[in-house]
A and B are shown apart, each in its own frame.
Chain A
Amino acid sequence: MVTTYAVARVARGNRLSPARVGAVINRNVGALRSGPAYWLVLASGFFEPVLYLLSIGVGVGALVGDLTLNDGEVLPYANFVAPAMLAVSAMSGALAETTFNFFFKFKYVKTYDAMLATPLRPMEIAAGELTWAMIRGSLYTGAFLIVMVALGLTTPGWALLAFPATWLVGLAFGAVGMAVSTFIRGWQDFDLISTGQFALFLFSGTFSPVQDYPLPVEILIAITPLYHAVELIRGITTGMFSWSMLGNVAYLLAMLAVGLYVASRRLTSVLCR
């Protein structure tokens, strides 16, 4: 009886307070409103994947023509590339927030030290920052989906379904990025992150079907995270659903859980010494 009570108490104590998580998000909304610089950053994040889509998807697509996939389905090249660019923009939108911005607040301006002097707990800070990262990513992906529908690269219905899928992608990458950022020693380490990000961008079945690679490479790619995001979103925007997409969702959920756990543990061990 006593034990049950104690366990219930601890469980209640560890529950996230939506109001406190909201207060962390509110801080970022305030920062967004206060400076014009931030809007510029947001705008550039949107145009990057659109430019890739136009140059490679549409431009190179004109040379490549239609793709015949393994199951015999035929897909115009731009329709193949566009969902990959969508997944990439969900990833990079969230990562921009949880790597660069997070590290700056964590190490230099000590935003989280200030937050920890209030009732906020590390887990709530991590959850608030991650939710904000996802919101930022969804600004990119929402706009990108509109472009896709306008160019006839997907239907409005599939676009509506793909939108929440991009949230999941943002949360998964954002969480892992945040966890990694807590280990970063200095700005030099960011070069590693952007190199990694670029490698994922090129080789995750973004520009060509992974089945075109030798088997070992294909397996290697299947382990990396962006592949799962691309597969999931491509399945939705092209309307070619398969059971393996459940595996993609599970992979992304695992990234979210592990990333968030590690990030909040690290926040505690570094800031609450």
Chain B
Amino acid sequence: MIRARGLVKRFGDFTAVDGIDLEVAPGEAFGFLGPNGAGKSSTMRMIGCVSTPTAGELRILDMDPVREGPSIRARLGVCPQTDNLDPDLTVFENLTTYARYFGIPRAEGRRRAAELLEFVQLTEKSGSTVEPLSGGMKRRLSIARAMINEPDLVLLDEPTTGLDPQARHLLWERLFRLKQRGVTLVLTTHYMDEAEQLCDRLVVMDAGKIVAEGSPRHLIETYSTREVVELRFGDDAPATYVEKLAGIGERLDPLPDRLLLYSADGDAAVNEVHRRGFTPSSVLVRRSTLEDVFLILTGRTLVD
């Protein structure tokens, strides 16, 4: 579906995407994970054929995005990061009008619009304008709009950013159904749980480069340990314990409020902490998540 080799995007002196290679297979749910400014959206825009690569090779649906943009876009569904629904039109017309841009006949456009509104549970809002809809509803409408041309490939740029938990879960469930229908999904996110829920495979991007690639499970196994122990020590700064606990587990990571101890066996590590005579005020042994991988790979500095 997508093949990139040494793909680069520069804006003046700034390099947003710095030579990435990737391959997305049909039917796959593929994720770009990374902090803000990592180059995820720039990559998505190149895949969406609205931004020309500065260098490198990019093939989408086995076509050239620069020369065959309209033909590629005819088979893409794009759900942008910020909703750009049409405020002058009703919910239903947003879909039927969009269908016309793809050259879908009116009657067929109306049929699909009704079906899609059913799918995203917005049928009763059909005649409303867009403005009074909640954030979650707007997002669902954007996804319905992205599906109007029955695309082979759907691009979702941060599909659930800014939504409340109920709205996110409903959206995930709908996206999962799309995946079951065999639609190829490519999404960006900075939510680890979203990536774990939806993606078969993902790449972690940082500063325009791909720093890791694989399934969520594979990434956790490769870059983190099976378990993580979170230790808190009352008022003491966690960093002061790094030396005292050295040698326990595979890695120690002090955060401002707690110390993370990466270990294959969390309970054994906790026993060792106690044996050395330390009594943390709280102890939590948990399985390692993608979040741990993400923090290990991209560091803890806030990028904004």
Which residues of B lie under 8 Å from residue A35 when comparing CB positions? 88
- B85, CB-defined interface residue at 8 Å: yes
Inter-subunit contact B102/A13 (CB<8 Å): no
Which residues of A lie under 8 Å from residue B70 when comparing CB positions? 119-121
Q: Is the interface of A mostly helix, strand, loop or mixed?
A: helix
CB contacts between A and B, total, < 8 Å:
78
Inter-subunit contact B85/A114 (CB<8 Å): yes
Inter-subunit contact B73/A119 (CB<8 Å): yes
Given known pairs A23-B101, A117-B50, A118-B98, the reply for A34 and B11 (CB within 8 Å) is: no
Which residues of B lie under 8 Å from residue A118 when comparing CB positions? 73-74, 98, 101-102, 149
Which residues of B lie under 8 Å from residue A119 when comparing CB positions? 70-71, 73-74, 101-103
Which residues of A lie under 8 Å from residue B89 when comparing CB positions? 27, 30-31, 34
Task: State how many residues of chain A have any CB contact under 8 Å with chain B.
Answer: 29
Which residues of A lie under 8 Å from residue B85 when comparing CB positions? 114
Cα A13 to Cα B51 with chains together (Å): 18
Task: State how many residues of chain B have any CB contact under 8 Å with chain A.
Answer: 32
Inter-subunit contact B51/A117 (CB<8 Å): no
Within 8 A of B (CB), among A109-127: 109-111, 113-121
- B182, CB-defined interface residue at 8 Å: no
Which residues of A lie under 8 Å from residue B82 when comparing CB positions? 110
Which residues of B lie under 8 Å from residue A114 when comparing CB positions? 80, 84-86, 98
A-contact 0/1 string along B99-140, CB 8 Å cutoff: 011110000000000000000000000000100000000000
Given known pairs A23-B100, A23-B101, A30-B93, the reply for A109 and B87 (CB within 8 Å) is: yes
Inter-subunit contact A31/B88 (CB<8 Å): yes
Which residues of B lie under 8 Å from residue A34 when comparing CB positions? 88-90, 93, 129
Q: Give A contacts to B, CB under 8 Å.
A: 13, 17, 19-20, 22-24, 26-27, 30-31, 34-35, 38, 109-111, 113-121, 271-273
